[in-house]
Amino acid sequence: MNIGRLAFRNIFRNKRRTAITFMSIVAASAAIIVFGGFIAFSFEGLRETTIRTQLGHLQIAKKGYFDQGAGLSESFLIADPARIERDIRQSPLVNTTTWRLTGSGLISSGETSLSARLVGIIPEREEDFTAFETIIAGTHLDQDTPEGCVIGTGLAKGLNATENTTLTILGTTLNGMINALDCNVVGIVRTASKDYDNVYVKVPLSLLQRLFDTTKVEKILVLANDTDQMPSIEKLAAQSIAGDPSLEYKSWLELAEFYRGVVNLYTSIFKLASIVLGIVIFLSIANTMSMSAFERFNEIGALRAIGQTRAGIIKMFVYEGTLIGLIGSSLGLSAGTLLAWGINLTGGITVPAPPGMSTGYTALIKLSPPAFLYSFFTALLASVLSSFYPAWLASRIDIIRALHHT
């Protein structure tokens, strides 16, 4: 007896009930794919925003710099960044490199003074680091604005500053002396983080060096052509600093605590949703298989009477559950793909600004291989597991009573 062929015929005996079961599997599988694709798209957007507005793909600094916490220390500054970045900058894997000097201070307009996070940059190297900054007024810094500054929207509101407003930056030099410089607002920008916009002040590196009375920089930022090239970029950085034990590097992922937290949270939610949908599939198929076992009371008795073993009955029901899972999950993958394409073609999903973020965004559904795997194996595993109990009940049917059952 071909158990596989018999199992295939059995699942289509009651076409209506089988169709309803398949619909539940397809709906759950498609939901996993779409939700997983939404999360994958959101992760990618947050990742690129984090890399291209703050961290770069990799940072090189003095050993111990990344552990020192807040504050600027002379011992953790790099005196000759051009020498260190020379080999990295020539690599075809690298888009650009730049230098940064950061610090804290006060920024004033008239009688209003607010705390500021000061970021010194090289304007001519910043084009690829400003891809996710939205200009609200004015322009980005360039070589023709040696005493210009770009500030965040929240800080601009707090200072009542507009384009061409002159602001005073007050800071402390590395020797502990108070120093002050004026800067002219050339642009007001909005980044992804609302809190960052409330303190963000970007100035030319030379201007910030004058404020802190130094010619050194804090770190070298490396921006790769593609984030997938990170293993090669890390290897390149390791080779570049191999001869200088005073240096170390960190990848963007090691530095992006907020990103890691978001990924851990949403990954847990996705796994929980997959489990819940798996339970829905489990209950749906268990109900179908139990009804099937009840309706086939006589048939099961006849099979047992002609020599079919209990193990054979269990195997037949498990085959049925497996076939239901395979067919349903395959249909679910197709339905999820079509649904994702449909959402993308209609413009995506409008997402309001999450807590702590300055703006919302339009999310598309990224067809993510992990989501497909979760969808397929969740449906298949739930289908197989749900068939064991009905199979066990069917195998325990008394042959004489089953043959007399009407």
pLDDT value of position 4: 65
For residue 342, what pLDDT band results from cuts at 50, 70 and 90?
A: very high
- Of 51, 129, 123, 88, nearest in space to 247 by CA: 88
Q: Hey, what are 354's tokens?
A: 């999450």
For residue 90, what pLDDT band results from cuts at 50, 70 and 90?
A: confident
pLDDT value of position 185: 92
Q: Hey, what are 141's tokens?
A: 């810094």
Cα separation of 163 and 142, whole Å?
A: 15
Q: 114: which strand partners?
A: 107
Beta strands in 53-147 (DSSP E): 58-62, 94-109, 112-121, 134-138
Q: Looking at residues 339-356, what average pLDDT do you find?
A: 80
CA dihedral 77, 69, 264, 228 (to 10 degrees): 0
The answer to whether the beta carbons of residues 194 and 357 sit under 8 Å apart is: yes
Does the pTM surpass 0.85? The reply is no
Q: Which amino acid is at 206?
A: S
- Percentage of residues in the chain having pLDDT higher than 70: 85
- Of 46, 33, 133, nearest in space to 351 by CA: 46
**Per residue in 212-227, pLDDT tens?**
888 888 888 998 888 8
**Per residue in 106-132, pLDDT tens?**
999 888 889 998 999 888 888 877 766
Q: Which residue has the higher pLDDT, 204 or 53?
A: 204
Q: Which residue has the higher pLDDT, 279 or 292?
A: 279
Q: Hey, what are 309's tokens?
A: 């073993």
Q: Hey, what are 312's tokens?
A: 């054979």
The answer to whether the beta carbons of residues 332 and 29 sit under 8 Å apart is: yes
The pLDDT of residue 406 is above 50:
no
- Percentage of residues in the chain having pLDDT higher than 90: 12
Q: Which residue has the higher pLDDT, 355 or 47?
A: 47
Q: Looking at residues 23-42, what average pLDDT do you find?
A: 89
pLDDT value of position 304: 63
The answer to whether the beta carbons of residues 117 and 100 sit under 8 Å apart is: no
